[in-house]
Amino acid sequence: MKKTAVVTAGTAGIGLETALGLAAAGFAVTVVGRTAQRGGRAVERINATGPAHPARFLRADLASLGEVRALAERIASDHAASGEPLTALVNNVGAMFADRREVGGVEASFLVNHLSPYLLTELLLPTLTAGAPSRIVNVTSGAVGLAKRVFDAVEPPGGYYGFHWYGRAKLANLAYTLDLAARLDGTGVSVFAADPGGAATDMTNGTMTDPKIVSPALRLLWPLVRRRFERSTSGPASVAAGPSILAATDDTLTGRTGIVIGARATPVPPFRAATDPGIAAAVRRLSEQHAPLTVT
- The strand order across the sheet containing 134-139 reads 56-59, 27-33, 3-8, 88-91, 134-139, 189-194, 259-261, 267-268
Q: What are phi and psi of 156, to 5 degrees?
A: -80, 165
Within 10 Å of residue 203's Cβ, how many Cβ atoms? 18
Q: Classify the phi-psi angles of 235: left when phi > 0, otherwise alpha if psi is within -120 to 50, otherwise beta.
A: left
Residues labelled catalytic: 166
CA dihedral 145, 196, 35, 56 (to 10 degrees): -140
Structural element, H or E, at residue 7: strand 3-8
